[in-house]
Amino acid sequence: MQTEFDLIIIGAGCAGLSLGTRLAALHAEAPKTLLLESRIAYDNDRTWCFWGDAQTPFATLARHSWQRFSVKQGLHSTLIDCASTPYRMLSAADFYAQAIDAITSNAALTLQMGASLTAEPGFAEGTWLLHTTAGSFSAKAIVDTRPLPIEQMSDTTLWQSFLGCELEFEEPRFDSKSAQLMDFYQANQAFVGFVYVLPVSTTRALVEFTVFAPRIFEHAELLSYLESQVVNLAQERPYKTQRTEYGLIPMGLGRPVHPAQDTASPPSYVRVGLTAGAARPATGYAFQRIQRWASACAQSLQTTGIPVGHPQDSFAIRQMDAIFLNVLRHHPELGPELFMRLFSKVDSAKLIRFLSDRGSVSDYLAVILALPSGLFLKSAYQLATKK
């Protein structure tokens, strides 16, 4: 027995729940929607950080925000003022709870936990058919947020691998008004590494070790780097580890996210999320891009019944990000210096707008002028002549 829906969202993580929240806000006009999630329950598995003013989606749900942050390499440190668009930290537990509240308050939406697909969706006579561990369902449209298997992503330019832990010290240890965005690990030819410290109080902070590299760094490999950073930070003072998080973000997807002629699927099926264009290639930031997509997708579903995928980045962003990632891939030893140049030479408001996809032409120019032209022209030539 099948239940017919207007829309099925496969995967109710950040992208699925963000779209679900937008649809729930349509009240009686919400399409009949099923969200299928393989997890049995949510836990506080990640934190999302982003720059934004009070109007930015989920800004007011963020537990902590910083009006300044530092970037550091050895003895050189730059303090950046971001008071107009504070750096905000949103806890996954708070996001999940608010999204589930919104979704369950609208009878048109159903969240089915513990449901995995037993076969790929089939399409016949204008309808999608899904067989899952929770039963069979059909729908007019599908939004698929499942991440692609890593084996299908071998042409990713760089991987951002990170391991973090939330530490609670017995005595005051941090300045909770200032975040440390990047403190670079020694320059080397294998990866760009840095630690970031996000203090939520004088005694508690999220400490994360991050690596940008052509290959994936597994949890176990990152652990030794993180541990030595924590030892440095603790200086033998007692602390407790409250929570850990590991993450992997593709930076620069090899295959085009928007193939010119994608005839493989009808337009009623879109792939979205982290491995389908949600992440900004040069930074890995995805949360606010997912919010902008969710808003556009809900609007499209309301007006046409057809979902949309992530919009393509502008030509300028695509080229700049590809060149930057290509430089880091071939010269990771230059990474710390390049980031230091960006943060110390570019006006902070311009840089934050550029990093948050809100840059103007003059912001792009400021970023280009801060970087070594010879190296970047060579990289541009390398990409242009790549077969």
Ligand X SMILES: Cc1cc2nc3c(=O)[nH]c(=O)nc-3n(C[C@H](O)[C@H](O)[C@H](O)COP(=O)(O)OP(=O)(O)OC[C@H]3O[C@@H](n4cnc5c(N)ncnc54)[C@H](O)[C@@H]3O)c2cc1C
Residues 6+ apart with CB under 8 A from 340: 71, 73, 76, 78, 184
**Residue 373 — left, alpha, or beta (φ > 0 → left; ψ -120 to 50 → alpha)?**
alpha
Q: Is residue 287 at the binding interface for ligand X, with CB under 6 A as the rule?
A: yes
Using CA atoms in the order 14, 270, 126, 120, what is the torsion angle rounded to 10 degrees?
Answer: -80
For residue 225, what are its two tokens? 């780097």
Minimum CB distance to ligand X smaller for 50 or for 194: 50
If binding is defined by CB under 6 A, does position 99 make contact with ligand X? no
Beta-carbon contacts of residue 217 (< 8 Å; ≥ 6 apart): 159, 161, 191, 211
Q: Does 351 bind ligand X (CB under 6 A)?
A: no
Question: Does position 340 bind ligand X by CB under 6 A?
Answer: no
Residue nearest to ligand X (CB): 13
Our CB check for ligand X shows the closer of 38 and 326 to be: 38
Q: Please select the residue that binds ligand X; options are 93, 117, 187, 368, rule is CB under 6 A.
A: 117
Is residue 13 part of the contact set for ligand X (CB under 6 A)? yes
The encoded tokens of residue 367 equal 């970023």
Using the rule CB under 6 A, is 249 a contact of ligand X?
yes
- Judged by CB under 6 A, the residue of 31, 199, 250, 273 near ligand X is 273
Residue 285 near ligand X by CB under 6 A: yes
Part of the chain binding ligand X (CB under 6 A), chosen from 46-54, 63-71, 260-268, 330-338: 46-54
CB of 258 to ligand X, least distance (A): 17
* Alpha carbons 269 and 119: distance in angstroms, whole number: 16
Is 22 one of the binding residues for ligand X (CB under 6 A)? no
Q: How many residues bind ligand X (CB under 6 A)?
A: 29
- Residues with Cβ within 8 Å of residue 119, at least 6 apart in sequence: 131
Q: Closest by alpha carbon to 50, among 93, 16, 82?
A: 82
The answer to whether 164 and 209 are in contact (CB under 8 A) is yes
CB of 126 to ligand X, least distance (A): 23
Name which position in 130, 205, 257, 274 contacts ligand X (CB under 6 A). Answer: 274
Beta-ladder partners of 72: 77, 183
By CB under 6 A, tell whether 252 contacts ligand X.
no
- Binding residues (CB under 6 A) for ligand X: these are 10-16, 36-39, 46, 48-50, 116-117, 145-146, 245, 247, 249, 273-274, 278, 285-287, 290
